[in-house]
Amino acid sequence: MQGPAERQHGAGRTARHVVTAAAVVGVAAAVALAVDLWWPSAWSGGSARGAGRIVAVGAENQYADVIAQIGGDQVQVTAVMSNPNTDPHTFEASPGVAQVLGSAQLVVQNGLGYDTFMTTIERASAGSTRKVIDVQQLLGLPDSTPNPHLWYTPATMPAVAKAVARDLTALDPAHRGLFAGNLGRFDRSLGTWTRDMSSLAAAEPGAPVATTEPVADDMLAAVGARDLTPFSFQSDVMNGLDPSPQDVAMEQQLLTHRKVKALVYNRQVTDSLTESLLALARQHHVPVVGVYETMPSPGYDYQTWMQAEVQALRHALTTGTSSPKL
Amino acid sequence: MSGFFASGPVHTAVVAGAVVAVVSGVVGVFTVIRGQSFSGHALGDLGTLGGSGAFLAGVNPFFGYVTVGAAVAATMDLFGVQHRRGRDVATGIVLGAALGLAALLLYFDTTTSTTTGATITILFGSLFAVSPGTLPVMIGLGVVGLVLVAVLYRPLLLSSVSAELAAARGVRVRTVGLVFLVLVGVVVSLSAVAVGTILSTALLVGPAAAALRLTRRPLTAVVVASVLGLVATWGGVVLSYASATWPPSHTGWPVSFFVVTLVLALYLGAELVGWARARAGA
């Protein structure tokens, strides 16, 4: 019904199309400029190779820390996951991570499905010279290993440090002596932590504890504590699922009946359920020990972080003091 | 089944399930009569935005559902009626944009804060995960909703069956429609706590549709819908509790799955009864 009017306005319509097209081009140019200006310079990994230093990436900042301790000033290390307020299990890689990995010569990742995005990106940007240390493979663990938090096992980091020193030496044979010296220093500095664990195991043998999530389970085993929380409960919390009501009731009873001497609480894997357990523990005067998935920084390196958590556990078991956070 | 009645999570689930079933049943009957099932579904989905925002702000997602549900319902009503023809398109576009924003907020949730399982909690819910502190608020909102329906019962029913007739009788159809849609927003928020934002319309529409298949009397339908809703939520709680030993994980199947499956089974049962009656009558 608009036929005649439309024909009269034909020329006007053409002009409007031109204006629209120009506007689209203008907006596109503005977006491109904005992206160019805002693109984080740290992501343009090409320049990172400068100064002859080895470019290395740790998928989690505890692995990055070990690389830095072994490599000293001969490496430039980036950690992919380092925010102590996030849950690494649900982390998704950004394009920036792909950029950093593209220029890396040495990568340390956990494996066991904990940082699968690393393998995905590595496959996509295949670099023949890149050395990848997969801690699961390094330790020869099967895929069915239930607890992926390998850095809490006392034997893990010495093996990782040794592999890092080996690969750094292959990449830069001239600094062989530096890497070997740093490796020895790293291994010796772990002595305080292992001694603390043995003395706690002797002081409080078989202490009953509850956990929200399996992060520190291997360390609890190393200090001889008995974790009374069903593993199915811990595994559901870790995977972001709702545990069965039977498991929840059992976990609540551990606290309300004070069957445990401490609640070991993963600060990085929390939901309304773990928060309600925290409140329950406070209400029934069960001391809480906050533990971390990734290294809390600044202020800690791997060794002092592990020592601090054992200290916090010792305070909870011997004096009933809570250490909700480090 | 040992320990079922002594279990804290079961107590909370039974009470929360009852509140959701009764209020959804009552409001659902009017939703189905008015043909606003899609609006109800859109409001439920939009709860995802509220829930993910609430997680980011560190408050209980239920308060996010209610705030966004009520606000969007009012907005939808104010804009929707004037442009009747474009209503589906407008709802679809707003829905898409809001869910896109929810995707961004959920990404921030998982990358900047410790909110494990936020996505599954918001989208699929769990009666066993209702925090005891939320329960009084849910009961309060449920009672307010029921009182509102009781007060508005006659004008609401009249305007639902025939808007023209209601207007002729002096009912303020616009106002009743606005209040009702906001009420739907609140009700889908309640049921989002039980079965998640994606599944929340199942409890709103399913039992009500089944009840209307069994009876044509509105008051009877309201009662039947509430009872069917109770069967679905309580049955879901029992089945989920019993499933703790089932394969493959041996940690129980999600309660939301059982609730929604029971809703479907009840609806199909009602269809069957209606069909048998029609044959017997013919």
Parent domain of B20: 8-276
- Determine whether the interchain pair B112/A267 forms a contact, defined as Cβ–Cβ distance below 8 Å: no
Q: Which of B65, A291, B160, A180 is nearest to A300 (CA)?
A: A291
What is residue B1's predicted lDDT score, i.e. its pLDDT? 52
What was the pLDDT predicted at B139? 95
> In this structure, is residue B24 part of a structural domain?
yes
Residue B282 lies in a domain: no
Please check whether residue B281 lies inside any domain of the structure.
no
In a domain, B257, yes or no: yes
Check A92 against B118: CB less than 8 A apart.
Answer: no
Task: Using CB atoms, pick whichever of B113, B116, B128 lies closest to residue A245.
Answer: B128
Contacts of B137 (CB under 8 A, 6+ apart): B62
B266, part of any domain: yes
Burial class (CB in 10 A: 0-12, 13-18, 19+), A5: exposed
Of the candidates A247, A267, A276, the beta carbon closest to that of B114 is on A267
In a domain, B1, yes or no: no
A42/A96 Cα distance (integer angstroms): 8
Query: Is A271 in Cβ contact with B117 (below 8 Å)?
Result: yes
Number of structural domains chain B divides into: 1
**C-beta atoms of A270 and B110 within 8 A:** no
Residues B147, B124: Cα–Cα separation, whole Å: 29
Q: What is the CATH number of the domain that holds B147?
A: 1.10.3470.10
Q: Average pLDDT for consecutive 10-residue bins of chain A (326 residues)?
A: 45 64 70 56 42 89 96 94 77 77 92 88 75 96 93 96 96 96 97 96 95 95 96 90 88 96 92 88 96 91 96 96 92
| Contact residues on chain B for A253, CB-CB shorter than 8 A | none
Residue showing tokens 């509430």:
B226
Residues of chain A positioned with their CB less than 8 A from the CB of B113: 85-86
Query: Which residues from chain B sit within 8 angstroms of residue A90, using beta carbons?
Result: 110, 116
- Which residues of chain A make contact with B6, given a CB cutoff of 8 A? 249
Q: What is the pLDDT of residues A47-106, one digit of tens each?
A: 444 468 999 999 999 999 999 999 999 999 999 988 777 777 777 777 778 888 888 999
- Complex confidence, ipTM: 0.72
CB < 8 Å to A239, chain B = 117
Chain B hits for A235, CB-CB cut-off 8 Å, are 251
Give how far B36 is from chain A: nearest CA, Å. 32
Q: Which residues contact A238 (CB under 8 A, 6 or more apart)?
A: A89, A213, A214, A215, A269, B116
pLDDT score at B119:
81
Is residue B253 a part of any domain in this protein?
yes
In a domain, B2, yes or no: no
**Out of A87, A89, A245, whose CB is closest to B10?**
A245
pLDDT value for A269: 85
pLDDT at residue number A190: 96
Q: Nearest Cβ partner of A242 from B7, B111, B129?
A: B129
Q: Collect the ranges in chain B with pLDDT lower than 50.
A: 82
The CA-based dihedral angle spanning residues A32, A38, A40, A41, taken in that order and rounded to the nearest 10 degrees: 80
DSSP string, chain B: -TTTTT-HHHHHHHHHHHHHHHHHHHHHHHHHHHT-HHHHHHHHHHHHHHHHHHHHHTS-HHHHHHHHHHHHHHHHHHHHTTTSTTHHHHHHHHHHHHHHHHHHHHHHHHHHS--TTHHHHHHH--GGG--TTHHHHHHHHHHHHHHHHHHHHHHHHHHHH-HHHHHHTT--HHHHHHHHHHHHHHHHHHHHHHHHHHHHHHHHHHHHHHHHHH-S-HHHHHHHHHHHHHHHHHHHHHHHHHGGG-TTTSS---HHHHHHHHHHHHHHHHHHHHHHHHHHH-
The number of CA neighbours under 13 Å toward the Cβ of B112 is: 12
Substitution target from B114, B115, B243 for chain A, most A beta carbons within 10 A: B114
Q: Select the residue of A89, A240, A270 nearest B120 (Cβ to Cβ).
A: A240
Domains and CATH numbers, chain A: 45-189 (3.40.50.1980), 191-319 (3.40.50.1980)
pLDDT of residue B225: 97
